[in-house]
Amino acid sequence: MEEPAVAPVPEQNPPQETPELSVKETIKRMTGLQEKDRGLDRIKAQIAQAQTSADAIRRSIIEEQQAIESAKEQRKKLLLHHKTLEGDVAKIDGDINKHSGELRLVKTNEAYRALLTAIENLKKKKDDAETKILELMDELDLQQKRAKEAAAAMETHKKEKEDRAAQLDSEKGKLESLLEQAIQERAGLFAVFPPDVASRYERLRAKREGVAVAPVLEGASCGGCRMHLTPQMINEVIKAHEFVQCERCQRILYLPP
């Protein structure tokens, strides 16, 4: 006798893993996601702020160092100028001596007067050069005083500034760990939404300053843009059969608990 044919076992549908959320529950979770997203934005802003502050501090240290270096360069130039002027004075002295010696040798009054004029001119040049030397020495004194003050200020503040910058780095590091964690938590909150709802949330959030879901405020207005809402709209929000979006700002409306 033939064995009875075994009836094929019908394939079973896999169990539904994510039961569909009610509109009310979806919106409730959306507000949770939105809260998390705002937290993420705050952490990102804090990270950027810490980075900006640390950069500014480090830049100011570099600028102070550069100012000190350029003061040193300036001093070198002034010293060189001083040396040149002293050389000029020595040369003028030599010329004056030479002409004074020549005075005894000239034969004509005209040549004698010409030499005297030349000597007078040289003395005037020497006076000018010596005046410049004195001015330069004053400038060098003042410059040295300022350089000392700048170096002392640098000495005092550099460590302080470096410590502050390092502290900001460490705060930034902690914030980055927090951000990492928040991003993971956010992914968990986001994953419950069907793709169309998820993308609607993302679009609205991007367009509406990070606020996709807005409460109905007392006095029946939209918590996002303050537009007055009709009683019919409020009724629809209460019934929660489908998403109700503000006519002006398109944010999804909900009744606050």
- Note the residues at the interface with Zn ion (CB under 5 A): 222, 224-225, 227, 246, 248-249
d(CA 10, CA 154): 83
Q: Give the nearer residue to Zn ion in terms of CB position, either 126 or 200.
A: 200
Residues 6+ apart with CB under 8 A from 32: 189
Cβ atoms within 10 Å, residue 162: 13
Q: How far is the CB of 162 from Zn ion (least distance, A)?
A: 49
Q: Give the nearer residue to Zn ion in terms of CB position, either 175 or 233.
A: 233
Q: How far is the CB of 208 from Zn ion (least distance, A)?
A: 9
Q: Give the nearer residue to Zn ion in terms of CB position, either 36 or 251.
A: 251
Q: Give the nearer residue to Zn ion in terms of CB position, either 43 or 252.
A: 252
Pairing of strands 213-217, 221-222: antiparallel
Q: How far is the CB of 245 from Zn ion (least distance, A)?
A: 8
**Amino acid occupying residue 70:** S
Q: How far is the CB of 14 from Zn ion (least distance, A)?
A: 41
Q: How far is the CB of 226 from Zn ion (least distance, A)?
A: 7
d(CA 235, CA 256): 14
Cβ 182 vs Cβ 43: under 8 Å = yes
Pairing of strands 221-222, 252-254: unpaired
Q: How far is the CB of 251 from Zn ion (least distance, A)?
A: 5
Instruction: Please give the backbone phi and psi of residue 219, each rounded to the nearest 5 degrees, phi first.
Output: 90, 10
Cβ 213 vs Cβ 206: under 8 Å = no
Q: Give the nearer residue to Zn ion in terms of CB position, either 26 or 245.
A: 245
Q: How far is the CB of 200 from Zn ion (least distance, A)?
A: 15
Cβ 116 vs Cβ 103: under 8 Å = yes
Structure tokens at 48: 């950027």
Expressed in angstroms, the distance from the first to the final Cα of the chain is 72
Q: Give the nearer residue to Zn ion in terms of CB position, either 87 or 256.
A: 256
Task: Tell which residue, 203, 216, 212, 71, has the closest CA to residue 142.
Answer: 71
Q: Give the nearer residue to Zn ion in terms of CB position, either 57 or 222.
A: 222
**Alpha helix (H) residue ranges in the chain:** 23-103, 109-190, 195-207, 231-239
